[in-house]
Structure 1
Amino acid sequence: MAYFDNIRTFVRVYELGSMSAAARDQRISPAVASARISQLEEYLNVRLFQRTTRMLNATEQGKLFYPGACRILETIEEAEALVSSVTLKPRGSIHVAAPLGVGRRLIAPVVPAFKKDFPLIDVRLRLSDRKLDVAAEGLDIAFFLGVPEDSNLRIRKIADCQRVLCASPDYLEINGIPESGSDLSTPAHACLNLRFPGAPEFQWPLQTPDGVKRFTVTGPFESDDGDVLTDWALNGHGIIIKPEFEVLDHIRSGALVPILTDTPPVPIQMACLYSHRRRQDPKIRLFIDFVSGHIRTVLSNQAELGSAATISGIAKG
């Protein structure tokens, strides 16, 4: 197994371009990662990486070895998956990513139940609102909201999530309640947006009597953390557009008030990305099915509460 561990470490170092990043990814120390690469180089009698104190680059031999190393690991994973499917005892680790709101509220709560049903499977959950490169970061499954950029990965839709525009009572008392989507584009209102490097101009799509219309919005605050935006809204700093499940408790308590409910935001798709090869792995298939069923149940139950909460929130506002 040591040889295969060395190959796994080589592949992650090659993909991540960093010994320390690969070590963190594999939950080993940088010294162990470096030793594995050295052992592999000694076995192959070639130098796989040029290493300096500032950078690490694959040599020509390393570039040649990488595709074959990937095929070796894929063959092992496929063989293990076949054995697991026959024994009905899938095992191993699943590396899962999700946005902060989705992960905290919909996925993390169900992981212990999944582990109880499938004790031989470990779940490594990574939460981030930034865009992730599924292949480069060694992920098996990536949950997301919206429409992904062009990808050769498979997409499995889970549900359409209702969204809501809301702000705190204090904000609305000071700035007034928007009467139309056009009001959101004026300097009178601050819209809080999720920002990533290279993000395009912000446009919020609303369902109007004339069809879907997009309104360009701006505001003084932006963040790459969706929960930070919610905190700002709770503190009276602006208006947010959020999946209903993320802010339902705040609406029910009156801390946030729904606005423009006659022209609500277009629902947003919740789905997951995975490679075709990974979908054949029983543990990946089991996790996607398990979590997807849980999410649909939660969203269905919250939809009933959401309608009542929205009406109540409007009344309080």
Structure 2
Amino acid sequence: MSYLESLRVFVRVIELGSITSGGRDLRLSPAVASNRIKDLENRFGVRLLNRTTRKLTPTEIGRVFYENARRVIETLDEAEAVIGSYSGTPQGVIRLTAPLGLGRRLIAPLIPVFCRDNPGVDVQLRLSDRSVNIVEDGIDLAFFLGEPQDSALKWRKVADCPRLLVASPDYVERSGLPKGPDDLKNHNCLLLRYPRSPEYFWTLQTDEGPRKMMVSGRFDTDDGDVLTTWALAGEGIANRPGYEVTDHIAKGRLVEILPEARPLPAQFGCLTPHRRLQDPKVRMFADYAARELKKAF
């Protein structure tokens, strides 16, 4: 492994907080990643990391070395992007992230096609319904449902994603059909919840305009697919993206609740650090995904 590749390992280990995570991100075993760090320490004759059984932190010189190594990696990545733009053959890795359900259903199927058309590009997809730090995690492109909050990132809206309230026919038979938004307080609402979750309430479109409804239920989870599974099992009412439940509705496994007062649609788009939007391969994937995903909504 080259000196440059050892630098990449060191930078990702610092950013992700462990040798195991940094190695995994670069498709290396913990042993190989650890050896790369040791090679750097032996090369310079200094300790770059303080290691304990519970924590890994950079030494003072390690922190200084990280800042400079990160700039070197960014400069080389930018140079690689420039060469790719002139040659017309993009090269390198694109790091993507997306919510679990959206990533599985909509983003993942796009990647093999893109990579076949661009054989010099590798794609790493990380899926999570939890919020991620796009800059610290080295993400090139983050697909997103909702309202972006970070003004330091570039937001590209692709489409509005309809959301529907759904429950199983069995649940409706047992618990009744809500006749209006106020009736939701008498129902088991299935909630997506995690630290800083936006779904402690549902905003519905009514004749009087958007109405924020405080809802509650016995179950909550940080995995959106689990909400759909619970709804299919007859456990309550879920607020889900339309692309995830329309097939279930068409086949009678779910019914729409309060179609006259649907939740506000969620914005769907992608976020990227401003500088990375200049990378042709990132821009190409963003354009490709926007074209294909507009069809899904």
- 2:286 is aligned with what amino acid? I
Aligned partner of residue 260 in structure 2, secondary structure: coil
CA distance in 1, matches of 2:54, 2:261: 54
Q: Which amino acid aligns with 2:282?
A: I
8 A contact 1:92–1:122 mirrored in 2? yes
1:204 aligns with 2:198: no
Deviates more, 1:141-150 or 1:156-165: 141-150
Q: Please tell me the root mean square deviation across aligned C-alpha atoms, in Å.
A: 1.4
SS in 1 for 2:109: helix
1:4-23, aligned counterparts within 5 Å?
4-23=4-23
Q: What's 1:172 paired with?
A: 172
1:309 equivalent in structure 2? none
> What TM-score do you get using the length of structure 2 for normalisation?
0.96
What amino acid maps onto 1:37 in structure 2?
I
CA contact (8 A) 1:201 1:216 kept: no
The answer on whether the counterparts of 1:192 and 1:240 sit within 8 Å (CA) in structure 2 is yes
Quote how far apart the aligned CAs of 1:201 are: 6.8
Select between 246-255 and 43-52 the one with higher mean Cα deviation: 43-52
Alignment of 1:32 onto 2:21: no
The whole-number CA distance in structure 1 between the counterparts of 2:64 and 2:217 is: 49
Per-residue deviation, residues 277-303 of structure 1 (Å, max 9, x unmatched): 11111110111110111000222xxxx
Answering whether residue 245 of structure 2 is matched by residue 247 of structure 1, we say: yes
The equivalent residue for 1:282 is 280
Q: How far has the Cα of 1:151 moved from its partner?
A: 4.6
Count of residues in correspondence between the two structures: 297
Q: Please say which of residues 92-101 and 131-140 is displaced more in the overlay.
A: 131-140
Q: CA deviation at 1:58?
A: 0.8
**Match 1:234 to one of 232, 235, 243:** 232
* Unaligned stretches of 5+ residues in structure 1: 300-317
Deviations 1:6-42 (A, max 9, x none): 1111111111121111111111111111111111122
Matched letter for residue 130 of structure 1? R
Could you tell me how far apart the structure 2 residues matched to 1:286 and 1:177 are?
46
Inter-partner Cα distance in structure 2 for 1:77 and 1:201: 38
Cα contact 1:49–1:56 (8 A) shared by 2: yes
Percent identity between matched residues is 52
Paired position in structure 2 for 1:135:
135
Where does residue 215 of structure 2 map in the other structure? 217
